[in-house]
Amino acid sequence: MTASPVPASETQPPEHIDRNRQSNGFWGMAAFLATDVVMFTLLLVANIYLRRYSHGPGQASLDPGTTFWYSLGLWASSGVLILAERLRRQTELSGLLYLLTAGLGLVFVYGQVKEYLRLTHLGARVDVNLFYTGFYTVTGLHGLHVLVGALALIVAAVLRFGGRLGERRSGFTGGLGLYWHFVDGVWAVLFAVLYLWSGP
């Protein structure tokens, strides 16, 4: 009786199989973010175009000074995340750095909520004019990205503390890192265009 051929995947060491899965996760995230680039670009271009026809409260009602400090925390979180991954062999320290990254992201979201409440108190609501319709739409979408990313970072921290975020799941951490750096980079563009640039 002739033995059935063993599938190639079963003859390869587990490390080889997991590395392939990690690569798929990373590139899957890259493909997802490519669609995000298109979406954010369209929303930003729409805001730039429509603000010319906007009446009532505009960019002057925004608070770039306070928002900058919250933004600085978000941008710094990218560096903390890089450090967390470089120190991944030190499980507890790496887990704490993941939590710190998530915490900085949540603080940024808190700052955005405060900004929304302040603007609403000033009468700059989402339906007051085209500028603020675009502003709330694009910054709200970005804030949702930060919130989702922060929750994923907390999950990563829990896995790290439990010793379940090793080399086998480097695709997950790689994809998460790419996502977080993308979110930080998008905010740099949004902050410059919405808060600093006076428009065409």
Return the H-helix or E-strand segment holding 162.
none
CATH number 3.40.30.10 is the correct assignment for the domain at 24-53+63-196: no
Question: Distance between CA atoms of 22 and 175, rounded to whole angstroms?
Answer: 8
pLDDT digits (tens, 9 = 90+) for 14-72: 444 444 555 677 888 888 899 999 999 999 888 888 877 777 668 888 999 999 999 99
pLDDT digits (tens, 9 = 90+) for 146-200: 999 999 999 999 999 988 877 777 778 889 999 999 999 999 999 999 999 877 7
Return the pLDDT at 53: 75
For 109, other C-beta atoms within 10 Å of its C-beta total: 17
42: helix, coil or strand? helix
Q: What is the pTM assigned to this prediction?
A: 0.83
Tokens 């899965």, residue located:
21
Question: Distance between CA atoms of 113 and 115, rounded to whole angstroms?
Answer: 5
Amino acid sitting at position 152: A
Domain boundaries, the chain: 24-53+63-196
Return the H-helix or E-strand segment holding 112.
helix 91-121
- DSSP annotation of 2 reads P
And the tokens for 195?
């808060």
pLDDT digits (tens, 9 = 90+) for 117-151: 999 999 888 888 888 998 999 999 999 999 999 99
Question: Distance between CA atoms of 57 and 78, rounded to whole angstroms?
Answer: 33
